[in-house]
Amino acid sequence: MSIILSQKIRDKIADDKHRVTERDIRECFANTTRGFVEDDREEHRTDPATMWFVSENNYGRRIKVMFVIREGDIYIKSAYPATDVVSAMYARKSEEL
């Protein structure tokens, strides 16, 4: 299973709003301790389903990572620093799994 970031996504997550690197994303996947949550909002539904989670990179920075899985590979859709509200939502939703 590979983690794939298109150039468009790399540019997007590197901007001043996101400030996330591929390394950050890989560290978040490695450090996650809970499951992935499906984005069930109507305007964000995709096929396959968009999944997301909040985890920390190796420096303790909380990041929300959104992705889809296609043919066994993980395609990153976006990633950005997680707010307290998003982190709390993830904690609640991931407990339901």
Give the pLDDT band of residue 97 (cuts 50, 70, 90): low
- pLDDT value at 62 more than 90: yes
Whether pLDDT at 74 is above 90: yes
Q: For the chain, give the percent of residues with pLDDT over 90.
A: 88
Asked whether 63 and 79 are in contact (CB, 8 A), the reply is yes
Q: Is the predicted pLDDT of residue 56 greater than 80, yes or no?
A: yes
Q: pLDDT for 9-44, tens place per residue? A: 999 999 999 999 999 999 999 999 999 999 988 887
Q: How many domains does the chain have?
A: 1
Question: What percent of the chain shows pLDDT beyond 70?
Answer: 99
Hey, what amino acid is at 94? S
Q: How far apart are CA 58 and CA 63, in angstroms?
A: 11
Answering whether pTM is above 0.85, one says: yes
The beta strands (E) that lie in the chain are given as: 3-4, 37-38, 51-56, 62-70, 73-81
Residue 53 in 3-state DSSP? Answer: strand
Domain assignment of residue 7, given as a range: 3-95
